[in-house]
Structure 1
Amino acid sequence: MFLEFFIWGAWFVTLGTFLPQNLNASGFEIANVFSTQSWGAIIAPFIIGLIADRYFNAERILGILHLVGAFLMYQMYSAPNVGVFYPYVLAYMIAYMPTLALANSVSFRQLTNPEKEFSGIRVWGTIGWIVAGLSISFLGWDAEGGIKEGLLRNTFLMSSTASLILGLFSFILPKTPPIKKSVEDKSSISELLGLDAIKLLGDRNYLVFFLSSVLICIPLAFYYQNANLFLSEVGLANPTGKMAIGQVSEAFFLLLLPILFTRIGFKNTIMLGMLAWAVRYLLFAYGNSGELAYMLIIGIALHGICYDFFFVSGQIYTDAKAGEKYKSSAQGLITLATYGVGQLIGFWVAGFISEHYKANPTNDPFWQNVWLVPAGIAAVVLFLFAVFFRDKKIAKG
């Protein structure tokens, strides 16, 4: 788990800075590169459901995908321009995104009590992401001088090395063979993609939640695509290391979530998450690296509320609404909607907004204009959810 998320955090956080600063990528080119994550999320169920779950041990395909990833990551390190870089990052994301589910599968199959034991293992993934960010800032790769010297390119070499290590290590993980299924139990493509659970959208409340999930991914994409570049350009010291505060916050609020969920209910928890998105971007819009640097730090620290209170709460809500029959399909549907469709739209919108304000500057600062857009989108989604969602007790089953 440590290596799985170290690999991702070692290059993805600084990607939004690397592309324009070192490869001279435009806003639309940056959006296309970030969109590869969404394409990977859309294609991943086919790889896992149609190949890994049926024919191969999970640990072996995990190893193969990470070895392939190590090669592709090295090609990204060597790419001279965004045109050469793009095919490699697309292939890499198609290879990497399935490993998230495979790593979970290997873990769950070896545990006697996953509900109690898994969180203690998964937290090492968060630690891996944090260590990756702190390492980049410690080595000075994300400092102004390091960026000018092209040192951010080393993040891909670091990630490639970690991927190689994890790829080899995966082959000595406990054997996790495919679960033999009866003819009647074979999963269809529609089930793997979560389409069997589409009938849940007939419930008005779930439809409102589902559409809100897609729309709130637009502000989320702005953070992934622009945050590191923004913090670097406004002059915040050690931006990548400071962004690790968001992962610390995520781990903390994940522990707090069950208590809050019980006390204030699903609707209020979700709305708190949406409100945090709007507040975070207002802090980014009006903060600076000087006397108002605390606004930027608070904006980063809000990541735990933004992510946990909306997305994790949403997974719990989806699980409860689906009942036993559609549990897996429903989680597949919401994942496809958020990481797939929602963020795909979000990355494109973020790229469009950046290009628009570069081509049409106003009297206000560029980044202020950019951050007010996702703040406004989050506020609108919050309003619509508050009006149309009716909070009521969820009947399981």
Structure 2
Amino acid sequence: MSVKLRLTIMSFFQFFVWGAWLITIANYWFGTKHWEGTQFGAIFATMGIASLFMPTLMGIIADRWINAEKLYSILHFLYAITLFYLPTVDDPQVFFYVILLAMCFYMPTLALSNSISYSALTAGNYDLVKSFPPIRVWGTVGFIAAMWLVNLTGNKATAHQFHIAGAAAVALSIFALSLPKCPPRNTNKESRTFVQTFGLEAFKLFSDYKMALFFIFSMFLGAALQLTNAYGDVFLDEFKFYPKYADSIVVKFSTVIMSISQISETLFILAIPFFLKRFGIKNVMLISMFAWVLRFGLFGLGDPGTGLWMIVLSCIVYGMAFDFFNISGSLFVESSTNSHIRSSAQGLFMMMTNGFGAILGSLVSGWVIEHYFTLSFTDISSLASYLHTEASNSTLLKLVQEHGISLADNGLLSAGIHLKDWHNIWLAFAGYTLIIAILFAIFFKHKHEKAD
């Protein structure tokens, strides 16, 4: 098997084992476990917490003591074990700690997979610029494939999504042992300071006004990046409570609809070189921010009926919103730092977006949604009024019963039912990103020299 094929398979399953549950875990949390929304925000914060220290720590281990592909194999095996254990957990607090452990094993493999690919391609005398993107794009394909598999097999709200991801992670762990050898590169005994060892020199960049401003805005925009991953699929799924939308394709295939976002990613990557040359890094990042405004705004105004086009367009816009900021941001860091701290600076960029930003967005959004945008209903008539349907509608009664709630006397529900005010939730998120975009345009100064 060729090196490029092996790396392609690795890339496919690297994201398959994540995509099998990342977008659908909200359906499991709210629809199957019926746990609180505030605590769910903490679940997505685990990725940020793990990103603060695990990639750096595992990178040091791979650089000094153990082959990267072996460490990669070990981490995926441990990740699989935690995924298999998740369905046995019935306490949301314990669930948080198990997910956190899973993320501590998984998040470092994102960087390790890149290191393994770069090392193998370089050793094989391949052109990295030409060879790596076609390999990496199969990661997005793997993510999409996992989403489709979970949705089309009816497992988007069940524990089997974790079983699917765990089984694939075990297979990837075994397959990783066949990858090209990637031995430690920094085995010299030269003494290094604590700051040098842990790549903390990059924090000196905060003394530069422009770089400090860039990292701060990266954190605040990073807070928005996880919102659609956390709530997108459950938002579409909750249209099942509206009788006129209950049998729509959006409800039946919500995860497939959401996968349009990942498909869009693969297409917008191709447009980045043109936009960067034409408009410059600052304007491309601004385009990304306004794309986030559209992403959230279209979700807030769309529905599975006449507003279906808005939901689909929102998913298409996601590719621009996600790719344009992440890639142009990393290029800005690359061009604004020297070679001695470049890798650490890239790590700092990821830490601010996927670390601190993700934690901020996950925890704050969970609290805000639970306290200001969650509606509680204790009787069938008030629920029917909110959903704009008749109280005796058999479809509505059936949906309530499917939610695990029976009807008591006089139309009262034996237990309260909670729905999210998604219209205002998404508009609030759109307002947040609009403010970030305006402030970025005003305060971040970066001159672009237009290419000929």
The TM-score with structure 2 as length reference comes to: 0.81
Q: Secondary structure at the match of 2:35?
A: coil
d(CA) in 2 for partners of 1:370 and 1:39?
25
Structure 1: distance between partners of 2:200 and 2:211: 15
Deviation at 1:95, TM superposition (A): 0.6
Amino acid at match of 1:383: I
Q: Counterpart of 1:293 in structure 2: which amino acid?
A: L
Matches of 2:446 and 2:304 in 1, distance apart? 41
Tell me the residue number matched to 2:440.
Answer: 385
1:341-367 CA distances to partner (integer Å, 9 max, x unpaired)?
011000011101211125678x99811
Sort the Cα spacing of 1:191 and 1:250 in 2 relative to 1 into closer, same or farther, 3 A.
farther
- With over 3 angstroms needed to count, the CA separation of the structure-2 counterparts of 1:241 and 1:210, relative to structure 1, is same
**Other-structure match for 2:223:** 218
1:309 corresponds, among 307, 311, 324, to 324
Contact 2:73 2:173 in 1 (8 A): yes
Per the TM alignment, residue 134 of structure 1 is displaced from its structure 2 partner at its CA by 1.3
Amino acid at match of 1:308: D
Partner of 1:293: 308
Which residue of structure 2 lines up, in the alignment, with residue 107 of structure 1?
A: 117
Aligned to 1:251: 266
Q: Which residue of 2 aligns with 1:13?
A: 23
Structure (1 or 2) with the larger CA radius of gyration: 2
- Matches of 1:133 and 1:191 in 2, distance apart? 40
**Equivalent residues of 1:219, 1:378 under 8 A apart:** yes
Q: Aligned partners of 1:43 and 1:268: how far apart in 2? A: 31
Q: Which residue of 2 aligns with 1:178?
A: 184
Instruction: Give the distance between the partners of 2:56 and 2:266, measured in 1 at CA.
Output: 30
Q: CA RMSD in A?
A: 2.1
Write the distance in 2 (CA, Å) between the matches of 1:325 and 1:241: 44
- Aligned equivalents of 2:107, 2:366: Cα separation in 1: 22
| 1:368 maps to amino acid | H
Aligned equivalent of 1:169? 175
Aligned residue type for 1:163 = A
Match of 1:368 among 420, 423, 429: 423
User: Partner amino acid for 1:200?
Assistant: L
The size of the alignment, in residue pairs, is 385
- Contact kept, 8 Å, 1:283 with 1:295, in 2: the verdict is yes
**Shift of residue 57 of structure 1?**
0.6
Shift in Å at residue 218 of structure 1? 2.0
Distance in structure 2 (CA, Å) of the matches to 1:313 and 1:278: 18
CA distance in structure 2 between the aligned counterparts of 1:294 and 1:136, rounded to whole angstroms:
24
- Corresponding residue of 1:52: 62
Q: 1:157 aligns with which of 152, 163, 166?
A: 163
Q: 1:131 to 1:192 in 2, by over 3 A?
A: farther
CA apart distance, 1:190? 3.7
With over 3 angstroms needed to count, the CA separation of the structure-2 counterparts of 1:42 and 1:192, relative to structure 1, is farther
**Whole-angstrom distance in 2 between the partners of 1:50 and 1:124:** 27
Q: Does 1:42 align with 2:97?
A: no
CA shift digits 1:193-224 (9 cap, x unpaired) = 65312232333332222211111122223212
C-alpha change, 1:28 and 1:110, in structure 2 (3 Å) is same
Structure 1, unaligned stretches of length 5 or more?
A: none
Indicate the SS of the match to 1:11: coil
2:150 to 133, 136, 139: 136
Could you tell me how far apart the structure 2 residues matched to 1:12 and 1:252 are?
Answer: 22
| Equivalence for 2:409 | none
Tell me if the contact between 2:51 and 2:351 (Cα under 8 Å) persists in the aligned partners.
yes
* Aligned counterparts of 2:448 and 2:21: Cα–Cα separation in 1: 42
Q: Is the 8 A contact 2:51 2:354 kept in 1?
A: yes
Point out the structure with the larger helix share: 1
- Does 2:344 correspond to 1:339? no
CA–CA separation in structure 1 for the residues paired with 2:33 and 2:191: 49
My pick for the range that moved more, 255-264 or 321-330, is 321-330
Bigger mean CA deviation after superposition, 306-315 or 202-211? 202-211
For residue 79 of structure 1, the aligned residue among 89, 96, 103 is: 89
The amino acid that maps onto 1:386 is A
The Cα offsets for residues 262-302 of structure 1, whole Å up to 9 and x where unpaired, read as 00111111110000111111111111111101101111111
Is contact 1:193-1:333 (8 Å) kept?
no
- How far apart, CA to CA, are the structure 1 residues paired with 2:155 and 2:374? 29
8 Å contact from structure 1 (residues 194, 333) kept in 2:
no
Cα distance in structure 2, aligned partners of 1:110 and 1:351: 42
Alignment partners' CA distance in 1, 2:223 and 2:256: 24
- Greater Cα offset, 215-224 or 197-206: 197-206
**Match for 1:196: what amino acid?**
E
Give structure 1 regions of 4+ aligned residues with deviation exceeding 6 angstroms: none
Asked if structure 2 preserves the Cα contact closer than 8 Å seen for 1:254 and 1:308, the reply is yes
Q: Distance in 1 between matches of 2:196 and 2:265?
A: 30
Partner Cα separation in structure 2 for residue 358 and residue 249 of structure 1: 29
Identity, % of aligned positions: 34
Asked if 2 retains the 8 angstrom alpha-carbon contact of 1:222 and 1:346, the reply is yes
Q: Distance in 2 between matches of 1:18 and 1:372?
A: 25
Residue-by-residue CA offset, 1:31-63 (whole Å, 9 max, x unaligned): 111111111111223432332221101111111
Contact residue 41 and residue 340 of structure 1 kept, 8 A:
yes
